[in-house]
Amino acid sequence: MAKPLIVVRELVRTYRMGEVTVQALRGVSFAIDQGEFVAIMGPSGSGKSTLMNMIGCLDAPSGGSYQLAGVEVSALSDEALSELRARTLGFVFQRYQLLPRQTALQNVEMPLIYRGVPSAQRRWRARIALTIVGMGERLDHRPNQLSGGQQQRIAIARALVGSPSVILADEPTGALDTATGAEIMALFQRLNRIQGVTVILVTHDPEVARYAGRVLRVRDGVLIGDGPPPARAGTDPAGLDR
């Protein structure tokens, strides 16, 4: 039996804000298998973004255990952690974070430059990633020549180009209109189902969460629910709208 790709056990994260200690996460535990599509959902201040930062190896827990691809993250040096993150994770952000003076192709190549991939191979892999997300005819366009939805597709291609096991998406439709957001979520579903990429996204929106196969609900730093999303809008058996 295959081991889970992600295993979180009793994860704790505390912050000091002056004289006050803030408990952002309070003993969160779950596992995610390769090939799942998981939404982490909760209101503002629930701890969902802190949890995403933990999963993305962008922040260190104050307590508990986090294993990524069978590796205990807390035991790694900074160099080993950076290598694991680059090899295993791809990131998609709400505001795209594309370099404005670079073309779509150059933006998608960027992670491979940091990994020392030769230029010809970089361009080839970037072209494939852009084709997968439906942007193969926009290689030479710069971000200001593209719509918000097209820019997000470029950002998804950039996340894909390193062949990650997991794509982490933080409110990926937050800057988009409803119709364009639905197109982006459908793209995540295709990548999950056809490419086999594990997708984990943070959202506060029940309609976005319904694209996932599983929803982790977080409130006040505690995991309060773990199950399937509602079948359709207008029904709320999983309590997503509360």
Rounded Cα distance, 1 and 44, in Å: 37
pLDDT of residue 2: 62
Rounded Cα distance, 51 and 110, in Å: 26
pLDDT of residue 94: 83
Note whether 207 and 230 are within 8 A (CB).
Answer: no
pLDDT of residue 240: 45
* Residue count (the chain): 242
What six digits make up the tokens of 44? 């503002």
Ordered by start, the domain boundaries in the chain are 6-96+165-227
pLDDT of residue 232: 63
CB atoms within 10 A of CB 16: 8
pLDDT of residue 242: 39
- What are the per-10-residue average pLDDT scores of the chain (242 residues)? 87 90 94 96 92 93 94 91 91 90 96 91 96 94 95 95 94 92 95 94 92 96 91 50 40
Name the CATH code of domain 6-96+165-227 (choices 3.40.50.150, 1.20.20.10, 3.40.50.2000, 3.40.50.300): 3.40.50.300
pLDDT of residue 1: 57
What does pTM read for this prediction?
Answer: 0.90
